[in-house]
Amino acid sequence: MRYINTGRVIAAQLTTPAENPLVTDSSRLIDVWFDGAAVRKQLFKKVTREEQEAFAADLLTRGFVRSGNLLLNPAAVLFAEMEHELLGGIVTIGYQDNGKPVELKVGTNAFAELSTALAGAAR
């Protein structure tokens, strides 16, 4: 049994057999970035397919934006910049203990969805 506090999650990357052929339905991976004084990343190994899908569904119901296998909380975005209309952009979600930014790459559709969510929140 595993519990991940999704209220503290600001981004998550799901690894499925489609992304990594060494991963199975009973040994999937989830990389999670947590908020706090500094952004922390944690890898959860041997997550079942059901756990991973329930985790993703919970994040999506909380308003996370999906870019492929990356789920991102628009409220966590500090800075976003489009690199190219066809490739997408880079999103900064915080800083590590050493002061370096935590940057994630998002696809074009997710960047557009994220921009819309951020523009609506700014008003």
Distance, first Cα to last Cα, the chain: 41
Specify the pairing of strand 88-95 against strand 79-84. antiparallel
Nearest to 50 by CA among 10, 9, 14: 14
Which amino acid, one-letter code, is at 9? V
Give tens-digit pLDDT for 28-55.
999 999 998 899 999 999 899 999 999 9
- Domains of the chain, residue spans: 6-122
pLDDT score of 117 more than 90: no
Give tens-digit pLDDT for 60-89.
999 999 998 999 999 999 988 887 777 788
Predicted confidence at residue 122, as pLDDT, reads 55
What's the fold here for domain 6-122? OB fold (Dihydrolipoamide Acetyltransferase, E2P) (2.40.50)
Query: Is 0.75 surpassed by the pTM of this model?
Result: yes
Nearest to 76 by CA among 114, 31, 43, 29: 114
